[in-house]
Amino acid sequence: MSQRFFKSSPEVYEAVLSSLDAAWGFPKDGFAHCFLPLEHAPKLGGFAYLAIQSEDADMEPASSMLPQLLASGQVIEVAVEEYRAALPEV
């Protein structure tokens, strides 16, 4: 499975999470959200980071929302290295 990596402001992160949770019927299958809630998301430099399976990014409504978010600059696609740099040290 391949992944895509993104960063956004915390406000955009929460808005997208809320929209996708509602669209995909979360909570379900023992999960509260479709991806990590903001308090558990990697953060660096004022951005919240997200790793998402490519297949999930291709599902509606994510596949319709993502191009608009990228075009507006509200979400920025990043390389795996930048995402990993935002992960907390263990």
Model pLDDT, residue 1: 78
Interval 37-80: pLDDT, tens? 999 999 999 999 999 999 999 999 999 999 999 999 999 999 99
Q: For the chain, which residues make up each domain, given as ranges? A: 3-86
Kindly report the average pLDDT of the chain as a whole number.
Answer: 96
pTM of the model: 0.92
Q: Which candidate, 39, 45, 40, 33, places its Cα nearest to that of 7?
A: 45
Interval 1-47: pLDDT, tens? 799 999 999 999 999 999 999 999 999 999 999 999 999 999 999 99
